Amino acid sequence: MFEKLLSFLPAERQDFFSGKVFKKAKNWGAAKGGRVLFEKYPEEFKKRRENGLKKLKELGIAGGKIKSEIDKNIPLSEELCEFVGAFIGDGFLGGMKTVGISGNSDLDKEYLGFQMKNINLLFGLEGKIFKRTNSKSVELRFNSKRFCEFMIDRFGFPKGVKTYTVKIPEEILNSEEKFVFAAIRGIFDTDGCVFLDRRKIYKKPYPRISLQIVSKNLAEQLFVVLSRTFSVYKGFNASRQSHYIEVYGIEQLQKWMRLIGFSNERNLRKVREASGETRTRDLLITNQLRYYCATEA
């Protein structure tokens, strides 16, 4: 109300009255009353606080935060399988109390936010995204012992280094195709990429969906599953001691988008470019700007 009345005055009078007042917090009265009561009845406050903490403990709440119970028998869903795939691609278990996924701070932050929301909807867990100092590395972390146990007990992920042995859990591999494809989407969104070959031998940028991994088990699983639907190239890079899987060509890319797709914007951006949509969109924006400029003139 004060600001509203002040707006009717000339600028010099506004400055004059602004210097004569100060603002109090909206809850200043309640805060003052609370301090007075605490000073008057300190023992009563202490007793009630102890009783409150006892009740919180009985309800499974510590420090004011509910300890989320993880349903280890939760049915498979595309969201869960996609997270498992992302974990296979670039995830980690930290000290039996953290489940995390790593990424690039410039390219993957939005995608990690997407996965954070998925897990919150599935389990009610609150994740956090951390950027490493002096690095382009970013991490999505869920600090939950129960979630760690879930990933180990339900899907069989190892407690230590998983790079050389990780594979798609049998439960997912033997499930419906949509769940298998969701896991594959998660793997390629974190550890794979869409590469556009711009060599002169191609009239247009030639798309390649590519993945390079060191786990032989995972490479074999992906080759078997993808070969049922796609033309897949599999190889081994001796210098890097890594296996690579490739699906290439615009027709194969279009089929991939129909059946598997991507959730990571860095891959979707390349798909749009390969399909010519980026240039079309840029032309539309340019034409709109020209129209508005002409209208203003």
| Single-letter residue type at 58 | E
The pLDDT score that the predictor gives to residue 30 is 67
| Single-letter residue type at 215 | S
| Single-letter residue type at 34 | G
- Per-residue pLDDT of 132-143, as tens digits, reads 888 889 999 999
Whole-model pTM over 0.85? no
Every domain of the chain and the residues it spans: 25-67, 78-279
Q: What is the mean pLDDT of residues 253-260?
A: 97
Q: What is the CATH number of domain 78-279?
A: 3.10.28.10
* Number of helical (H) and strand (E) elements in the chain, helices listed first: 13, 10
| Single-letter residue type at 217 | N
Mean pLDDT of all residues belonging to the chain: 83
Dihedrals phi, psi of 261, to nearest 5 degrees: 80, -175
The three-class DSSP label of residue 40 is: helix
Report whether pLDDT(212) > 50: yes
The pLDDT score that the predictor gives to residue 39 is 75
The pLDDT score that the predictor gives to residue 294 is 43
Any residues with CB less than 8 A from the CB of 158 and at least 6 apart, and which? 93, 152, 165, 166
8 Å CB contact between 218 and 234:
no
